[in-house]
Amino acid sequence: MGSMNFSVNKERCISCEACVSDCPYFVLTMEEDTPAAVADRESLCIKCLHCLTVCPTGAVSINGFDPDDCLDMENMFPEADKMETLIRGRRSVRKYQDENIESSVMERLLQVAWQAPTGVNARGVLFTVVDDKEIMERLRRAVMTRLAELVRDDKLPEQLEFFAGFAKLWEEQGIDILFRGAPHIIITSAPKNCPCPEQDCIIALSYFELFAQSLRLGTVWDGLAKLAFTELMPEFNEQLGIPADHIFGYVMAFGKPAVEYHRTVPIRPAAINKVTFE
């Protein structure tokens, strides 16, 4: 046992070598009939836990994780038809109920979405979440007030002058285009020195969105809020708790939907470029 705490239950191990052959960094080897860590390669382990999950008999544990604590996947993946309907039927929701998502549902959603893959398994993504509609209301008002100031002082950059229209809609009709009136938002960020911070942030929100919709929650990618926080009022980021050494990933607004969609969109054929490489 070394720094990655790799251990094998010899009573369960059937010497199939699945863990050894699936290790992406060749950290494992067979010592006689038993898998073991190669001492001078342990530091290469990226903690992906493939060795633990590929083992058919639950013999491998690593980094303190016990295979008996994991979910068994037998017959638990969604049917392809259901998965396809989820992907085809997911819509951007722009009308929300004025209600919080229950805290247990929120917690499950965040924990599941955080399982999304990250480059080199860095797992650096931070979820900055507004999980309470009263806090969201304060944030919404503060952002709209700041936006109104920027409009009044003629400080909107030329390419973002269209934000003036959003300030007007809020002021005159109470319509919130920036957050679509949602009770919650999530912002992903990741350390700049992660291998793939931008991609990790987007992938995490893609998983978040699909799992949210499977829980009958609504989501919308919020490019306007992202522009507001990155281009117009970056001073908010400190108050939101986004670390200064993080890249700002993306914003997603979400909550219980106040709109229901009944059918998928008509088939839109994919743009496919089939390579004929001779």
Ligand X SMILES: Cc1cc2nc3c(=O)[nH]c(=O)nc-3n(C[C@H](O)[C@H](O)[C@H](O)COP(=O)(O)O)c2cc1C
Interface positions with ligand X (CB under 6 A): 91-92, 94, 180, 220-224
Q: Which CB sits closer to ligand X, 150 or 227?
A: 227
Backbone dihedral angles phi then psi of residue 30, each to the nearest 5 degrees: -95, 130
Amino acid at 225: A
CB of 179 to ligand X, least distance (A): 9
CB of 265 to ligand X, least distance (A): 7
For 21-115, strand residue ranges (E) read 28-31, 34-37, 60-61
Q: Which CB sits closer to ligand X, 30 or 175?
A: 175
Q: Which CB sits closer to ligand X, 24 or 89?
A: 89
Angle at 254 between CA 251 and CA 255, to 5 degrees: 160
**Chain position whose Cβ is nearest to ligand X:** 223
Containing 187, the helix (H) or strand (E) segment is: strand 184-191
CB of 249 to ligand X, least distance (A): 11
Q: How far apart are CA 30 and CA 19, in angstroms?
A: 10
CB of 227 to ligand X, least distance (A): 8
Q: How far apart are CA 206 and CA 69, in angstroms?
A: 26
CB of 117 to ligand X, least distance (A): 19
DSSP-H helix ranges across 56-182: 80-89, 103-113, 133-152, 163-173
Q: Which CB sits closer to ligand X, 41 or 91?
A: 91
Q: How far apart are CA 44 and CA 60, in angstroms?
A: 18
**Helices 103-113 and 197-214 sit at what angle, rounded to 10 degrees?**
140
CB of 222 to ligand X, least distance (A): 5
Q: Which CB sits closer to ligand X, 19 or 185?
A: 185
250: β partners: 188
Q: Which CB sits closer to ligand X, 20 or 251?
A: 251
